[in-house]
Structures are given as C-alpha cells and as structure tokens.
Amino acid sequence: MITLLFSGRSASIMKAVQKANEILASDTFYEKIALLPQMSNTSLTSPEIARILKTTNRKITIHTYWNPFGKTTKKMNAYQFEVNTNKISCVTAYAVNTLINETIQVIALLGDQINFSNSDHYHEEEENAFPWRIGEIAEIISRKTRQFA
C-alpha cells in the first residue's frame, strides 16, 4: 500500500495527508481508476495502472517549504516530495488532488512499472492523462466522503 508520511505542523496539510491515505487504502479508489478510459500519456491500460498502484508498497515523505514565487510542489526523488505551503490550496479536496497527483509522479520516477512522459501529450489532453486524472478521482472521493462536524 502507498502511504504518505508527514511530520510537519501545518494542520491543513496534515488533514489532506490523512484523507489522501484513507483514499489510497480504499478499494473504491482503485476500482474507479480501472474504469477510466485509456490514458493519453501511457501505453498501460487503466486496469493495469490500478493494479500496479494498488500493489505498490511505498512510503512517501512529504516535506513543506514556503516560497511565494515557487511552484506548488517539488519532486525530490522516488520517496519524497515537497509542498509549498504558500501555494497549496487550503481546501482539503484540492490539496488531496495535489498530493495524490504528486504521489503518482513520484512513484513513476523509479520507472520500474509505471512510466509516462509529460512530453507525450498536449496540454489540452491533461484531462485524460494520468496522474492528473487520478488526482481528480481522489478529489471527487474526498468531496463525497467528507464528514460534517
């Protein structure tokens, strides 16, 4: 199972990481991925992507940094990435989308099972390119399962 680790002090990121971990542990998430149409930036089928992600056993550490001019995230290596606390959304569902999106990209850095290339698709095709689409699924699931206090 893919697990996100965060030991920082940002309450909104802690909440998003917790929700992302719940989604990554749910069968529903992988079932929804398997139902996606063929992605435009990979030769893998959606059921293959879902199976690979579901059986991947990796802990990914999330660090934070603050930079008003930096990107929302920075990929460090296949086991960690950084989140810009100045740029990430404070809306949990949007933050979950970003975290899952970056998680998929970090996993792909190893290139052992999942491969994709940002240059193999046009910007207009991002809606049908993973990891964008998978992040979108996580956002939708996050919105549907949010609990009211």
**pLDDT, tens digit, 9 for 90 and up, residues 23-64:** 999 999 999 999 998 877 788 889 999 999 999 999 999 999
- Under DSSP, is residue 2 helix (H, G, I), strand (E, B) or coil? strand
In percent, the amount of the chain with pLDDT more than 70 equals 85
Q: Is the separation of the CB atoms in 21 and 3 below 8 Å?
A: yes
